[in-house]
């Protein structure tokens, strides 16, 4: 199933969510290679005083392997956000995404992210000014409201459509929920019914079956996969294939997963350099191992990997793990089944 955002037709309707500290360039490239239809970059502050920081420079990195360049910006000043959108469009962004969904305290205390949902007039002003500032499509990520007693997602969606926003991603929790409890999809279904622009359903979509259930329940144009892709970069592509063909492909074999993990660690080292690459690889390897191994085994290997301080030691560890898993696979003891983690 295709998804159209402005002039851009995606290969499918499964999008990797923007996640700070996760969807850097190496991770986006890997998820797209494995079948995601679009991968949105980590959020960038609209504050011009921080645009030249090392973090912002790394988050702006792009490559042809990362396909369409969707840049997410965060802030609360309409003029500043409009200027940031214009700068990023001039810098090559194909899509400008606005963050009104992040529940993190450090973002909300600046009246940005999901905190904006409590001021519908300001939301309208921001969206109108950003849309007017650029010639590329503007998309928006929101939550269902500020709290369970104030789910105003339908109002926000209508404001967005009227302002010229061309696609909407909705996380099925409120700002107050943060990531607690289960996502709810009734509000997303109401938003789909209220607007004509494409709506992506987001929140707790961690398997092919859950994606199908959410699409059937909401009528959304597609799904956005977030935390479930950590350690399972094949998941968005797996879901996309299942939606397109009706057949859910199996997860990669243990050997294939370990080869992907090793290649990804090499890409992280190349992207960040030895010092940062070694440290950032730790969390990515932990996500891979958590989805691959039983909990006790995962904790053992994680505690062995994290203290490693050199590139050579990290690769030696991964080779040793691959050898052990290969030995298990060839022995009478079957390896742990690979399942899509919740």
Whether the Cβ atoms of residue 142 and residue 114 lie closer than 8 Å to each other = yes
Residue 150: DSSP 8-state: B
Question: Among 236, 252, 243, 246, which residue's Cα sits nearest to residue 291?
Answer: 252
pLDDT band of residue 336 (cuts 50, 70, 90) is very low
Q: How many CB atoms lie within 10 A of CB 120?
A: 14
CA distance 162 to 190: 17
pLDDT at 340 exceeding the cut of 50: no
For the stretch 233-267, pLDDT in tens is 999 999 999 999 999 899 998 889 999 999 999 99
Sign of CA dihedral 237, 242, 243, 244: positive
C-alpha atoms less than 13 angstroms from C-alpha of 211 in its C-beta half-sphere: 28
Q: Is 5 helix (H, G, I), strand (E, B) or coil?
A: strand
Q: How many CB atoms lie within 10 A of CB 76?
A: 18
pLDDT of residue 337: 39
pLDDT band of residue 101 (cuts 50, 70, 90) is confident
Read off the tokens for 278: 């070694």
Catalytic residues: 102
If you search the block for the tokens 């109401």, which residue do you land on?
190
Q: How is the chain split into domains, by residue range?
A: 3-245, 254-330
CA distance 276 to 338: 30
Given 2.40.30.10, 3.60.20.10, 3.30.70.1060, 3.20.20.70, which CATH number is that of 3-245? 3.20.20.70
CA distance 175 to 14: 24
Read off the tokens for 56: 């912002």
Q: What kind and span of H or E run contains 45?
A: strand 44-45
For the stretch 161-216, pLDDT in tens is 999 999 999 999 999 998 999 999 999 999 999 999 999 999 999 999 999 999 99
What backbone phi and psi angles, to 5 degrees, belong to 191? -65, -45
The residues facing 141 across adjacent strands are 99, 169
């Amino acid at each position: 199933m295709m998804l159209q955002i402005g002039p851009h037709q995606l290969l499918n309707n499964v999008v990797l969510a923007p996640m700070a500290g996760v969807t850097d360039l190496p991770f986006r490239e890997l998820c797209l290679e494995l079948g995601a239809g679009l991968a949105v970059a980590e959020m960038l502050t609209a504050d011009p005083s921080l645009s030249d920081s090392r973090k912002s420079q790394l988050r702006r990195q792009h490559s042809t392997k990362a396909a369409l360049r969707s840049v997410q910006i965060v802030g609360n000043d309409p003029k500043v956000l409009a200027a940031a959108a214009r700068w990023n469009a001039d810098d090559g962004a194909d899509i400008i995404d606005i963050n009104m969904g992040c529940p993190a305290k450090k973002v909300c205390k600046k009246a940005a992210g999901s905190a904006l949902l409590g001021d519908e007039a300001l939301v309208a002003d921001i969206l109108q000014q950003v849309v007017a500032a650029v010639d590329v499509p503007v998309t928006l990520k929101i939550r269902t409201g500020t709290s369970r007693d104030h789910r105003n997602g339908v109002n926000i969606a209508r404001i967005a459509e009227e302002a010229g926003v061309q696609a909407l991603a909705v996380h099925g929790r409120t700002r107050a929920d943060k990531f607690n409890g289960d996502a709810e999809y009734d509000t997303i279904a109401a938003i789909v019914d209220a607007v004509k622009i494409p709506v992506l359903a987001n929140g707790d979509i961690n398997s092919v079956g859950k994606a199908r259930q959410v699409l059937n329940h909401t009528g959304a144009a597609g799904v956005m996969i977030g935390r479930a892709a950590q350690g399972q970069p094949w998941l968005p592509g797996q879901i996309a294939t299942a939606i397109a063909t009706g057949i859910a492909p199996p997860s990669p074999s243990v050997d294939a997963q370990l080869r992907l993990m090793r290649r990804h660690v090499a890409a992280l080292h190349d992207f960040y350099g030895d010092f940062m690459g070694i440290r950032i690889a730790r969390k990515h390897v932990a996500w891979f191992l958590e989805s691959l191994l039983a909990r006790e085994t995962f904790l053992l290997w994680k505690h062995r990997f994290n203290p490693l301080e050199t590139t050579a030691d990290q690769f030696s560890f991964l080779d040793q793990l691959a050898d052990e898993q290969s030995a298990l696979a060839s022995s009478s003891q079957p390896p742990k089944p690979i399942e899509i983690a919740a």
